[in-house]
Amino acid sequence: MATLKLRIVGLGDSTTAGTPGFLSPLEAPPNGRGNPESQYAYWMMKARPEWTVLNRGVNGQRSDEILARIQRNVLSESPNYVVILAGVNDVYQGAPLESAKNHLLAMYEKATAARIRTVTATVLPYNTASASESEAIRDLNSWIADTANRLGYLFCDTNRAVRDPRNRDRLLSSPDGLHPDVSGYRKMGEALAETIDSNARLV
């Protein structure tokens, strides 16, 4: 089978940027800074060397802030696929969950209108989350899965890739209690690569 050369953008917050081990190219222009293995984009390209995956994550951003840069960071790049992973900072900062869903849906729709295949990714847990914050993350992720299924977007359960199988509201391994370690970013990258690869073979 011929090798597919794909251009992919990862759009999101700290868990796209690669916090705490890596600063994304948007945070430390032009190429980012830190341990490159602390980002899922690295592991996607490791799994599929023929792909170009652009890290467009910014630590601490809410879904509205990420939506505000979709034209500049995604649509202007004309990628084949975009991975959209946002919403955890809405929960962390106490923003209304309904607004996060609306912002995510707007991102999905803008990418689709530009003929970019959208990969909807689930929000990751964090170890300091309260019971209500963990419940909000589960609510948001259920909505993401249902929306992907209903509207025909690609779906990747990145939450499942990094969470503790004994406690779904906590990370399996983390250097700071808030973000995955390198092994978690690797699992995210491999799961995302498989999601896109499975779709790319069909189209």
pLDDT tens for the chain, residues 1 to 203: 346 899 999 999 999 999 999 999 999 999 999 999 999 999 999 999 999 999 999 999 999 999 999 999 999 999 999 999 999 999 999 999 999 999 999 999 999 999 999 999 999 999 999 999 999 999 999 999 999 999 999 999 999 999 999 999 999 999 999 999 999 999 999 999 999 998 876 65
Write the DSSP assignment of 78-136 as a string of letters: --SEEEEE--HHHHHTT--HHHHHHHHHHHHHHHHHTT-EEEEEPPPP-TT--HHHHHH
Closest C-alpha to 66, from 95, 41, 42:
95
Superfamily (CATH) of domain 7-200: SGNH hydrolase (3.40.50.1110)
pLDDT of residue 1: 37
Residue ranges of domains in the chain: 7-200
Interatomic CA distance for residues 159 and 55, integer angstroms: 19
The predicted model scores a pTM of 0.95
pLDDT of residue 3: 60
pLDDT of residue 202: 65
